[in-house]
Amino acid sequence: MAIRLIAIDMDGTLLNPKCEITPRVQQAIQTAHKKGVAVVLATGRPFIGIERYLKELELNREGQYCITNNGALVQTTINGKCLLEVLLTFDDYLYFERLSRLLDIHFQAFSKIEMFTSNKNISKFTIREAWMTGIPLSYCAVNDMNSNLTFPKLMMIGSSERLDSVVSSLPQVAVERFNIMKSAPCYLEILNKQANKGLSLCFLAKRMGFIREEVMAIGDQENDLSMLEYAGISVAMGNSIKKVKKVAQIVTKSNQEDGVARVIEDFL
């Protein structure tokens, strides 16, 4: 069956290690468009962190969509209007902020337009996230936070080894009630239990009139597993973690070797 929708993760997949879209990848995506194939960026980043790439790929048009915050939001690419929202509450924020202090790990929270940290000694990983995505960063003590806020996602951040230790120490109730997974070695993402890339990709495919057999998904990290499991054609990058390669039907080249372009070229 022909592929009519391609969902592509960004960091470690679409983007090379310099956070660039190479000319070959850009050309492959443009060729897909000319053949009538829809391309959707499916990322852990907030909308502000993908706008320039949407423009670069000419995806910022009417009738185009993106999946952001690891599936917590499905948005239009032209103005970021939300079609689907699966959010965390302020009580969820308070729970994980307290838990992060108990586990002695840095913590950050995302609204739709801003990132907050309650850590006075702001983590270098938090600063990197703000720099990489362009999302405004604010230090805000817990007592000063707006209790009306809701959050697409929360994050615990630290070295890979430290986060592995944190994962093993998480209360079972947290694991059962929330969707918790790594999106990168230094980022542990916390979402509503019903928020993931797979569910959002399913929602979007149905909205666009496609069945799962017509969907291809490409990714590299744990947060991509749900959309790879949903898609009719699942593709792991050559630089993917072992879990992703095990689930995927196809393993393409790495993000340093135009892996996204190669698999699109092969299918189109």
Mean pLDDT of 137-141: 95
Q: Are 74 and 39 in contact (CB under 8 A)?
A: no
How far is 252 from 260, CA to CA, in rounded Å?
7
**CATH number of 80's domain:** 3.40.50.1000
Q: Are 117 and 101 in contact (CB under 8 A)?
A: no
The answer on 155 and 107 residing in a single domain is yes
Tens of pLDDT, residue by residue over 172-229, are 999 999 999 999 999 999 999 999 999 999 999 999 999 999 999 999 999 999 999 9
Mean pLDDT of 43-70: 97
Which residue, 192, 227, 259, sits at the end of a domain?
192
Q: Is the pLDDT of residue 78 over 80?
A: yes
The answer on 199 and 156 residing in a single domain is no
Mind spelling out the 3-state secondary structure of 200-248? HHHHHHHHHCCCHHHEEEEECCHHHHHHHHHCCEEEECCCCCHHHHHHC
Mean pLDDT of 33-54: 97
What band does 1 get if pLDDT is binned at 50, 70 and 90? confident
Q: Are 145 and 93 in contact (CB under 8 A)?
A: yes
Residue 44 CB partners (closer than 8 Å, separation 6+): 10, 11, 68, 69, 70, 153, 183, 187, 189, 223
Q: Is 258 a catalytic residue?
A: no
Tens of pLDDT, residue by residue over 230-241, are 999 999 999 999
Which residue, 146, 171, 192, sits at the end of a domain?
192
The answer on 137 and 112 residing in a single domain is yes
Share of the chain above pLDDT 90, in %: 99
Tokens of 86: 């699966």
**CATH number of 164's domain:** 3.30.1240.10
221, 230, 228, 212: which is closest to 263 by C-alpha?
228
Residue 121 CB partners (closer than 8 Å, separation 6+): none
Taking the CA atoms of 227, 230, 232 and 233 in sequence, report the sign of the dihedral they define.
Answer: positive
The count of structural domains within the chain is: 2
CB atoms within 10 A of CB 98: 12
Tens of pLDDT, residue by residue over 89-122, are 999 999 999 999 999 999 999 999 999 999 999 9
Q: Provide the residue type at 135 as one letter.
A: I
Q: pLDDT value at position 185?
A: 92
Q: pLDDT value at position 268?
A: 87
Out of 9, 92, 220, 224, the active site residue is 9
The answer on 201 and 76 residing in a single domain is yes
The mean predicted confidence, pLDDT, of the chain is 96
Tokens of 261: 């372009």
Domain of 52 in residue numbering reads as: 5-85+195-267
Q: Are 171 and 126 in contact (CB under 8 A)?
A: no
Mean pLDDT of 153-171: 95
Which residue, 139, 167, 192, sits at the end of a domain?
192
